[in-house]
Amino acid sequence: MEEIMVYLNFAIVEGNITRDGEVRHIAEGSYVTSFTLANNESFVNSKSETVSKANFIHVEIWGEAFAEKVSAYLKKGTPVRVHGKIRSDSWTSDDGTKKERIFVRGASVDFIKYAGNGNKQVEIRKKDSDLDCIDIIESEEND
């Protein structure tokens, strides 16, 4: 019997949404909402200077109910935390160039709050692996 190795594939990314989320209907009957997160990291370079770099992380949310419900909250500038898996796609473009992208397929989205970031926290999660069974939890900010 051949042994199959199973590797951990779990991502947690946090950042601000760069533009409003976009829901697309895929020909096979699926729905996907896509958006990009921006987050910053700082490091010290070889000249002992502190440098900040922006990272842009592409995120996809699949499933009709999940994609549509989460998209209503995906507004530019909103800080979110996404839990999911890292995925990759590769294809050949029309001009024959090989393309590849890495993205996070989100399983839950937490709309996080920072000081001065409104008065509600919204958490949207899939239940189990059912794409159309969603919990939406909204809580008032405790002052």
Does a structural domain hold residue 78? yes
Neighbours of 121 (CB within 10 A): 16
Is 126 in contact with 110 (CB distance < 8 Å)? no
Is 109 in contact with 82 (CB distance < 8 Å)? yes
40: domain CATH number is 2.40.50.140
Antiparallel, parallel or unpaired: β 98-111 and 50-62? parallel
pLDDT tens digits, 24-53: 888 777 888 899 999 998 999 999 999 999
Does a structural domain hold residue 106? yes
Is 110 in contact with 135 (CB distance < 8 Å)? no
Does a structural domain hold residue 6? no
Does a structural domain hold residue 103? yes
Residue 141, CA atoms < 13 Å, CB-side half-sphere:
12
Query: Domain span at residue 51?
Result: 11-140
The predicted pLDDT at position 117 comes to 46
pLDDT tens digits, 70-80: 888 888 999 99
